[in-house]
Amino acid sequence: MKLLHTADWHIGQLFHEYDRTWEHQQFLDWLVGVLHSEAIDVLLVSGDVFDLSNPSAASIHLFYSFLNRATTVNPGLQIVITAGNHDSAARLESPKPLLESTNIHIVGVVEKSEDGNIDYEKLCIPLKDNNGPVGAWCLAIPFLRMADYPVVPDSGHPYADGVARVYSEAYLFVLQKKQPGQGVIALGHLHAQQAETSDLDKPERAIMGGVECVGVSAFHEDIGYVALGHIHKAQRIGGREHVRYSGSPLPMSFSEIHYRHQVVVFELNGETFSNLKIVEIPVAVELLRVPATHSRIPEVLRALAGLPVMGGSSEHLPYLEVRVQADGPEPGLRYRIELALAGKAVRLAKIDVRYPDAAVLPEDPDDLRSDELTELSPLDVFSRVWQAKYAGLAPEDMIKLFNEIAAEADETE
Ligand SMILES: [Mn+2]
């Protein structure tokens, strides 16, 4: 049985306000080709199919077109999809009745019986060998919200321990169904301990509400492969080859400029996991940083002037990050950059301005007690922020403008 693991598609995501439909289309077209050429039996998608809980019609269309083409090109293909924290669990699985007669399984909601026990039957999906007998079982566990996982008494880590409990209960449940020689794999959309994050994962961590991580021991060692989603950087976890994040297929930030996105292909023969292979995803839209290092404005404008002139359609054009070194605020900067880029074959995504190292504040604002904070005037706060950002005192004209705004705000209150 040959499987392909991917996650974190984030269909509908904007890259610095640019629509990415074309890029997602390129990825899904490519994926249909790989499912065919690699003769994949099972496709695993570990959450965050969509970027928003209420995806646009265009996003939904892209997703269903993919399901249709993938199963047409590869008629024996089974697909298992779970919801991530970005997806609406209920909405993602709403076409379930329609898909029941197919080999497509979408699991969003963790259902419970009246006595509060999780319905593990729904989370256990039989995977068939060449559409024949059951070769393995898949624990299709979506992103778990507070109401989904059990309360572990006296736990100092209610989330991590609750999630671990779900995985161990699901494994015990599947053992009752599993025949000798059948393997078990699991899906998960969570933050695993020791996962290496990059700045692109910061928003994900915020969504998870803190730093609570699930230990790799949550996954029973007899589980043949754990297909994880949520962290956008591909990696194995806890030194275990078969506990992995596939990473997102599209870059989510400029920090991934040299990073190659991928899907994971592997085989499961009975209970034995083997032949793991990383398949790189072709880059549809390049990321560009000009200049390569933060530079002074005249140098920046010269470098931008050297960029090639537009040709072809805009959805193919590279995303550009402009890197500027400045001494203080440069109010006309964006306009000058936009002017220099007129007609150029790039899409301006981000202007990254670096200032001299911030001066040390008399006291760290984080150390302020709340009663001290309430004693500060708006102008005090403004002056501190200015000093932290631009390493100097706010100029007189800025203070005057700030006071005008503050006065206006006072009046409207
Ligand atoms: Mn996520």
Give me the mean pLDDT over the 17-28 stretch.
96
CA of 366 to the centre of ligand 1 (A): 29
Query: What is the DSSP code string of 80-128?
Result: EEE--SSS-HHHHTTTHHHHTTTTEEEE----B-TTS-B-HHHHEEEEE
Model pLDDT, residue 207: 44
Å from CA of 176 to ligand 1 middle:
31
pLDDT at position 122 is: 95
Q: Please tell me which residue, 200 or 36, carries the higher pLDDT value.
A: 36
Q: What separation in Å is there between the alpha carbon of 32 and the centre of ligand 1?
A: 23
The residue type found at 246 is S
Confidence of residue 358 (pLDDT cuts 50, 70, 90): low
The confidence score (pLDDT) of residue 209 equals: 46
- CA distances for 266 relative to 9, 77, 80, 235, 370, angstroms: 20, 15, 15, 15, 54
* 282 alpha carbon – ligand 1 mean position (Å): 23
Predicted local distance difference test score (pLDDT) of residue 206: 44
**Could you tell me the distance, in angstroms and rounded to a whole number, from the CA of residue 67 to the centre of ligand 1?**
21
**Cα(71) to centroid(ligand 1), Å:** 26
Domain boundaries, the chain: 2-280, 287-354, 365-412
Contacts of 73 (CB under 8 A, 6+ apart): 32, 35, 36
Q: How far is the CA of 189 from the centre of ligand 1 (A)?
A: 7
User: Ligand 1 centroid vs 341 CA: distance in angstroms?
Assistant: 35
Tell whether omega for the bond before 356 is within 30 degrees of 0, i.e. cis. no
What number is the average pLDDT over the span 395-411? 87
Q: Which residues contact 6 (CB under 8 A, 6 or more apart)?
A: 31, 43, 44, 45, 46, 246, 249, 263, 264
- pLDDT at position 79 is 97
Distance 85 CA to ligand 1 centre (A): 5
**For residues 251 and 196, which has the higher predicted lDDT (pLDDT)?**
251
Can you tell me the mean pLDDT for 383-409? 85
Q: 265 alpha carbon to ligand 1 midpoint, in Å?
A: 21
Provide the pLDDT for residue 238: 87
Ligand 1 center from residue 200 Cα (angstroms):
11
| CATH of region 2-280 | 3.60.21.10
Q: How far is the CA of 185 from the centre of ligand 1 (A)?
A: 20
Taking the centre of ligand 1 as the mean of its atom positions, its distance from the CA of residue 49, in whole angstroms, is 9
> By C-alpha distance, which of 23, 29, 71 is closest to 284?
23
User: Model confidence over 219-260: pLDDT tens digits?
Assistant: 999 999 999 999 999 999 988 999 999 999 999 999 888 889
Task: Identify the band that residue 201 occupies on the pLDDT scale cut at 50, 70 and 90.
Answer: low
| pLDDT score of 199 more than 60 | no
pLDDT of 165 above 80? yes
pLDDT, tens digit, 9 for 90 and up, residues 266-309:
999 988 899 999 999 999 999 999 999 999 999 999 999 999 99
CB 344 within 8 A of CB 306: no
User: What is the percentage of the chain residues whose pLDDT exceeds 70?
Assistant: 92
What is the residue-averaged pLDDT of the chain? 90
Q: Determine the distance separating the centroid of ligand 1 and the alpha carbon of 316, expressed in angstroms.
A: 27
Per the model's pLDDT, the better-predicted residue between 322 and 271 turns out to be: 322
**Alpha helices (H) in 128-214, listed in sequence order:** 158-177, 202-208
What pLDDT was estimated at residue 331?
85
Average pLDDT over residues 179-200: 86
**pLDDT band, very low/low/confident/very high, at 198 (cuts 50, 70, 90):** low
CB within 8 Å of 201: residues ≥ 6 apart: 231, 232, 233
Q: If you measure from the C-alpha of residue 39 to the centroid of ligand 1, how many angstroms do you get, rounded to a whole number?
A: 28
CA of 187 to the centre of ligand 1 (A): 13
As a dihedral over the C-alpha atoms of residue 366, residue 369, residue 375, residue 381, rounded to 10 degrees, the angle is 0
